[in-house]
């Protein structure tokens, strides 16, 4: 991993996080009209259709049959994650759901160290600690959060569990990205996820109202683009360093919540946000330090699957 790879990886990962947070905002809006399972289904079906169109038009690589087992495992995890997170984000403020998702980096880092044997450096530990501190400031330093009504215990439970399954999916993606293009992987896992979600979404299905169809189309598009960015970033970054970049999701969640749902952020959000941005800077430093101690691992993305040409693809954590 060269310094250029590390910087590009961080930028791609950050773009992916921002895109997936936009998808979460769309999911929150859809959750007021259709069930959580139906939101999950249209999210993955839409991503599958967008990616199939992209691969067909660019004559890129289709998913490999020999990797079907891997795709199925990731697809199953993504369905569980999406159901947890979409339920939580529908019934909790967007920034609060994002704050709960900040536990994902802890799981990602631990799983990356245990299963991928990634190195642990003081800078990385400091970055994770700083990100956690920023999240705690936001959650504990704001006004009281209602735990009754629509923000039920089920919503809180879903919001807490989503980061765990999301972290497991990210580590699997990091393990699998070396042998298949990002668009192919995302297409396969999205198609399988849609098939898994279909029987859950079917009961009580009615044709959605015309005024929300644009959201149904948009959620799949954002889901496809977001994961291409994420997978492309993971090619260049250790999963543990990506975990730090993922902290920026809280800032995006607060922004989208304010713009689209009139959820006014508390002052503590900006104090904690400054700590999160500092954590990302420290994570970049950790990535650069690793380039000096770890032998280069040349990994390139074929031109036909670079995210810059995929403007046509999008998960707490959720997502």
- Domain positions in the chain are 3-309
User: How do residues 253-288 score in pLDDT, each as one tens digit?
Assistant: 889 998 998 888 778 777 887 887 787 677 766 666
Q: Which region holds residue 180: left if phi is over 0, alpha if psi is between -120 and 50, else beta?
A: beta
* Predicted confidence band of residue 16 (pLDDT cuts 50, 70, 90): very high
Sequence-distant (≥ 6) Cβ neighbours of residue 85 within 8 angstroms? 24, 27, 97, 101, 158, 159, 162, 166, 315, 316, 317, 318, 319
Lowest mean pLDDT among 33-37, 38-42, 123-127, 260-264: 123-127
Burial class of 62 by CB neighbour count within 10 A (0 to 12, 13 to 18, 19+): middle
* Predicted confidence band of residue 5 (pLDDT cuts 50, 70, 90): confident
Q: Is 205 helix (H, G, I), strand (E, B) or coil?
A: coil
CA–CA distance, 283 with 172 (Å, rounded to integer): 21
CA–CA distance, 31 with 162 (Å, rounded to integer): 17
CA–CA distance, 120 with 110 (Å, rounded to integer): 10
Q: What average pLDDT does the segment 35-53 reach?
A: 93
* Predicted confidence band of residue 15 (pLDDT cuts 50, 70, 90): very high
On average, the pLDDT of the chain sits at: 79
CA–CA distance, 89 with 249 (Å, rounded to integer): 13
CA–CA distance, 214 with 198 (Å, rounded to integer): 20
Report which of residues 296 and 125 the model is more confident about. 125
CA–CA distance, 55 with 255 (Å, rounded to integer): 32
* Predicted confidence band of residue 289 (pLDDT cuts 50, 70, 90): low
Q: Please count the other Cβ atoms lying within 10 Å of the Cβ belonging to residue 262.
A: 7
Lowest mean pLDDT among 3-17, 39-53, 74-88: 3-17
Residue written as token pair 């040409």: 309
Answer yes or no: are the C-beta atoms of 185 and 232 closer than 8 Å: no
For the cut 50, the answer to whether the pLDDT of residue 307 exceeds it is: no
* Predicted confidence band of residue 310 (pLDDT cuts 50, 70, 90): very low
pLDDT of residue 142: 57
Lowest mean pLDDT among 125-129, 254-258, 303-307: 303-307
Q: What average pLDDT does the segment 109-137 reach?
A: 76
Transcribe 106-172 into DSSP letters. Answer: HHHHHHHHHHS-----HHHHHHHHHHHHHHHHHHHHS-----STTS-HHHHHHHHHHHHHHHHHHHH
CA–CA distance, 19 with 38 (Å, rounded to integer): 21
pTM comes to 0.73
Q: Which two tokens stand for residue 127?
A: 């970055």
* Predicted confidence band of residue 1 (pLDDT cuts 50, 70, 90): low
Q: Which two tokens stand for residue 284?
A: 């970049």
CA–CA distance, 194 with 49 (Å, rounded to integer): 11
* Predicted confidence band of residue 178 (pLDDT cuts 50, 70, 90): low
């Amino acid at each position: 991993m060269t310094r250029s790879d590390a910087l590009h990886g961080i930028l791609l990962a950050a773009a992916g996080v921002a895109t997936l947070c936009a998808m979460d905002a769309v999911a929150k809006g859809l959750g007021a009209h259709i069930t959580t399972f139906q939101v999950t289904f249209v999210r993955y079906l839409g991503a599958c259709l967008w990616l199939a169109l992209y691969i067909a038009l660019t004559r890129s690589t289709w998913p490999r049959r020999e990797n079907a087992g891997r795709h199925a495992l990731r697809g199953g995890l993504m369905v569980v994650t999406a159901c947890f997170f979409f339920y939580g984000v529908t019934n909790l403020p967007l920034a609060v759901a994002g704050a709960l998702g900040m536990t994902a980096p802890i799981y990602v880092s631990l799983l990356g160290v245990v299963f991928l044997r990634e190195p642990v450096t003081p800078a990385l530990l400091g970055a994770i600690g700083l990100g956690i501190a920023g999240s705690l400031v936001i959650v504990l330093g704001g006004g009281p959060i209602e735990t009754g009504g629509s923000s039920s215990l089920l919503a809180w439970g879903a919001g807490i569990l989503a980061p765990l399954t999301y972290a497991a999916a990210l580590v699997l993606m990091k393990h699998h990205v070396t042998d298949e293009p990002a668009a192919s992987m995302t297409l396969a896992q999205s198609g399988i996820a849609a098939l898994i979600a279909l029987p859950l979404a079917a009961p009580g299905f009615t044709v959605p109202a015309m005024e929300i169809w644009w959201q149904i189309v948009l959620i799949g598009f954002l889901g496809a683009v977001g994961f291409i960015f994420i997978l492309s970033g993971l090619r260049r970054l250790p999963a543990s360093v990506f975990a730090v970049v993922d902290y920026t999701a809280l800032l995006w969640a607060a922004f989208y919540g304010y713009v689209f749902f009139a959820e006014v952020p508390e002052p503590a959000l900006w104090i904690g946000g400054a700590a999160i941005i500092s954590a990302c800077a420290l994570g970049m430093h950790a990535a650069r330090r690793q380039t000096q101690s770890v032998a280069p691992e040349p990994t390139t993305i074929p031109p036909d699957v670079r995210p810059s040409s995929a403007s046509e693809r999008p998960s707490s954590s959720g997502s």
